[in-house]
A and B are shown apart, each in its own frame.
Chain A
């Protein structure tokens, strides 16, 4: 990790520390303080946006481990979210389980389904793996629609809100806190997973599969592990989403969401935990901006044309990043930090 000018690591602990200086700790606590006091000065709308961002961050962290670190491109992530969502939804709605008991099961089930669809990853890669994961998206949704007696099929499934004792996570503020705690835990977990033996194996596979295998990395096991971990994150995100709406329907997990999640990774920066947050926040905020600007533009062009701006903007931004900054916003952020890191020395 690059350190500020004049700061040197003198121990292994210092070398491994994520937050190395007091300034970094202060900035972290300031950010967390700002985040967790948001309900005090934000309306329901802002809290809704932040809650959705939080849920998406959890999901895209999983995709980042799978795609950004292990190079197993998945365009079925929304499908894996649906597995977690419906597992938790069915356990709570039909069997009366507590959300807290259903959530680990949702994560586990999504992970296991991830392994199932990850099986072809040893034989196929690149474009062919993309096709396999697209199939996962549609097969999962098909299964949910077929088992309508337990999933509700196209009519969806009413899902209870999470509870602790008599307290129900019903208000926007309470659910915001719940999601943010999970988002912080997911960020912490994602950051540390890539610093483990498995994480280093993922990166080795991403950089050169053959070289990784020669070094002794078990490709099959680690690729499946990446699918498992990535889908566990998706399962948690899916469960949080349906319990937030108090309703589960397949329309909450459309194929295009899987594509946009990948777009968020491109914009934020693949293989970077900070990049996930940058990507999700920037594209979600862009979405909100377009929602507001659309009706204003409708004075000049037709409402339909103004509304299409959202898709155009998102697509355009992804193209711009692919061409001009393929390493994403995270890389830009590193450059900004590097510029100030030398201060007060010029070089």
Chain B
């Protein structure tokens, strides 16, 4: 009985204390807001896989830096680019870069792909040829659009959902061949050979379709030679083969650690456009001329790069914007940044534009990757990159190659010289 009495008294005391408190809480409650509720904040992810370990580590680190700086700028300014004040981003939408290092490892990229998809990434990024080959079917089945730092012809057999911002390597080669033929003065047919990296990227350029094109415009195809992606010794044997077979022009897909030693050895063997043995060597854009020239100087004279970006000192709005971003975010890197920083900006801009276009059709909260592909990537038409790429970018279900022309640049007197643009012939491998 005594226990019940105490329980009753304790309950009474609790009620006495709690009731005024509850009442006070009620008094302090804010009045219901007038007008529409504040908009819900949404974070949309951009980015994807970056091969930060391996042969492309330098390229990818610069590209990631470009992504991060551009996205920070977009979040601050809420427009797509300084020259696109009308392409606005909703105030309640913020972008965030989501990235993972795939080590150029196919098995790893598969699980990363699933992880990023689960995390809500509605766009993707492919960092190299092995990853592109591994992911292209999955991306197509899942209807996810991806930007790509690889531009092999395999992406177009048939076109799927990986979009490039520089030309397909076979188109680079065709444009190089067009340019070389324009300047060919001898009566005989020029002799052409492939001198390319010994991996999926490098071998991607050696296709029957491209050979047929080169033959059709008057070349005599001699053969092909392969150099390790990162040569551990000068490619003397390969170069002497070119010499022995009287090759006039050779082309390949290499990265700078491949093209620089090749050109050095060419000089040692007295081979080049202005040397005793006349030969012109060209590479597709993974051998960035903006990286090549500072490293090689006049030693690189005569080397040609097809499909590259504008040079750092280009006065167009695109490069000016890139330089401003760099100066604002990484002042110590001004004048020393890898050109793939610009690729990061372009890719991020493409992904943001795809998401922005999709948001015009579908409310942000209902957005799906398929919407971003259909209403975003496929509707990007003439996206001006401020002159960084050879032409504005245009994509569609059958058009994954963003540009329509190939920029040809050559090293002359230790400087980058633009030799003009040549049309993309859309030479793809058909399986």
Q: Which A residues are within 8 Å of any B CB, using their own CB?
A: 43-45, 47-49, 52, 56, 145, 152-156, 158, 170, 172, 241, 245-247, 249-252, 254, 257, 287-288, 291-292, 294-295, 302-304, 306-308, 310-311
Contact = CB atoms under 8 A, between A and B. Distances in A.
Contacts of B60: 304
A45 B129 contact: no
B83 to A, nearest CB: 29
Interface in B37-64: 50, 52-53, 57-58, 60-61, 64
B115 A245 contact: no
B153 interface: yes
Given A156-B133, A294-B101, A52 B111 contact: yes
Contacts of B50: 303, 307
Interface in B10-61: 50, 52-53, 57-58, 60-61
Given A52-B107, A291-B112, A304 B61 contact: yes
B366 interface: no
A145 B64 CA distance: 32
A2 B201 CA distance: 54
Contacts of B99: 295, 303
19 contacts: A43-B114, A45-B114, A48-B110, A154-B203, A245-B106, A245-B138, A247-B133, A247-B136, A249-B130, A249-B200, A254-B105, A291-B111, A295-B98, A295-B100, A304-B57, A304-B58, A307-B50, A307-B57, A307-B103
Contacts of A52: 107, 110-111
B106 A154 contact: no
Contacts of A170: 141
A245 B110 contact: yes
Contact of A251 (B53, B112, B130, B138): B130
Contacts of A155: 133, 152-154, 157, 200, 203-204, 207, 429, 431
Main SS at interface, chain B: helix
Given A48-B113, A48-B114, A49-B111, 13 more contacts: A56-B107, A154-B204, A155-B431, A172-B114, A245-B110, A245-B137, A249-B106, A250-B200, A251-B130, A291-B101, A291-B111, A303-B52, A306-B52
Interface of B: 50, 52-53, 57-58, 60-61, 64, 98-101, 103-108, 110-115, 117-118, 129-130, 133-134, 136-138, 141, 152-154, 157, 198-204, 206-207, 429, 431
A292 B200 CA distance: 28
Q: Does more than half of chain A's interface fall in helix, strand or loop, or is it mixed?
A: helix
A251 B103 CA distance: 12
Nearest to B65: A303
B108, B198, B204: residue with the most chain A Cβ atoms closer than 10 Å: B108
A304 B103 CA distance: 11
Nearest to B200: A154
Contacts of A43: 114, 118
A294 B118 CA distance: 18
Name, among A48, A56, A154, A245, the residue most crowded by chain B CB atoms within 10 Å (CB to CB): A154
Contacts of B199: 154, 251
Contacts of A152: 431
A153 B194 CA distance: 15
Given A44-B114, A304-B52, A245 B152 contact: no
